Structure 1
Amino acid sequence: MKEIKIESTLTVFDDFNELPKNIASLMEQAMEARLNAYAPYSQFLVGAAIALENGEVVTGSNQENASYPSGLCAERTAIYYAGAKYPGVAMKTMAIVAGSLKNKTTEPIPPCGACRQAIAEYEVKQEDSIELYFMGETGKVVKSNSLANLLPLVFDKSVL
């Protein structure tokens, strides 16, 4: 038997104002996208913005459905749109802003498991990492240089 140690390194910004200008701009676009969320059931609004290698920015928001599995998270809305609209263009950075209408969210909220898997698929596909920045409505912002920090034992095409 052998033991495997897995470590992740994340950067935590104490405040939105500490972010580089280009990242702050991307986070603002995610905040705007969050306003377009359709979340009548959970009251939990999420916005995502993805900066592409060609300079374009694609946004998405969560879209719920009375048949819960039929809804789609903001991250997957944005990443699938980017993949469909700009095939072959690398995704460089993703910003995510999440919060509840029921109570104020001040802690960073990372992508759910399904979104992590979808982001991992595109990192594998483009053979390059996607920087992730995520936050609640206010407060700290967490940066991960790659989805691999959040999902270290990725399930990908190599196992199929």
Structure 2
Amino acid sequence: MQEIKITTTLTCYDNIAELPENVQELMQSAVEARKKAYAPYSNFRVGAALLLENGETIQGNNQENAAYPSGLCAERVAIFHAGATYPGVKIKQIAITATSDHHVNKTPIPPCGSCRQSIAEYEMRQESPIEIYFMGGEGKIMKSDSLKDLLPLIFDKSYL
């Protein structure tokens, strides 16, 4: 038997003002998207903003449905829109913010498992890492240099 240890390193910023200027703008775009989320069931709003290699910013927010599996997370709304509108254009950065309508989440909230898998698909396809910044409604922001830091044992097309 062999034990394998997997470690990861994330960067933590105390607030939006500490982020690089371009990332501050991207996170503000994610906050704007979050405010427009359709979340009548969970009352949990998520916004995402992507910076593409061509300089375009794409927003997404969670879109719920009474039949829960029919809804879609903010990250996937943004990623799929980017893929449909700008096929082949690399995603450089993703900013994500999430909070409850009932209280302000101050802990950084990372992408869910389904979103991590979707981000992995795009990161592997473009053969370059995607920086991921995530926060709650306010407060600290975490930065991952690549999806591989959040999902180290990625399932990708090489297994098919």
TM-score by length of 2: 0.99
Deviations along 1:44-103, one digit per CA (max 9) or x if unpaired, are 000000000000000000000000000000000000000110001000000001000011
Q: Is 1:117 the counterpart of 2:90 in the alignment?
A: no
State how far apart, in whole Å, the 2-side matches of 1:159 and 1:109 are.
29
CA RMSD of aligned residues (A): 0.5
State how far apart, in whole Å, the 2-side matches of 1:15 and 1:57 are.
21
Question: 1:69 is paired with a residue of what secondary structure?
Answer: helix
Q: Which residue of 2 aligns with 1:49?
A: 49
State how far apart, in whole Å, the 1-side matches of 2:105 and 2:5 are.
32
Q: Which residue of 2 aligns with 1:61?
A: 61
State how far apart, in whole Å, the 1-side matches of 2:123 and 2:43 are.
30
Question: 1:58 is paired with a residue of what secondary structure?
Answer: strand
Structure 1 gap segments, 5+ residues each: none
TM-score by length of 1: 0.99
Give every structure 1 segment of 4 or more consecutive aligned residues whose post-TM-superposition deviation is greater than 4 Å: none
Show the 5 A alignment for 1:76-115: 76-115=76-115
Show the 5 A alignment for 1:23-38: 23-38=23-38
AA paired with 1:153?
Answer: L
Percent identical: 63
AA paired with 2:6?
Answer: I
Q: How many residues align?
A: 160
Structure 2 gap segments, 5+ residues each: none
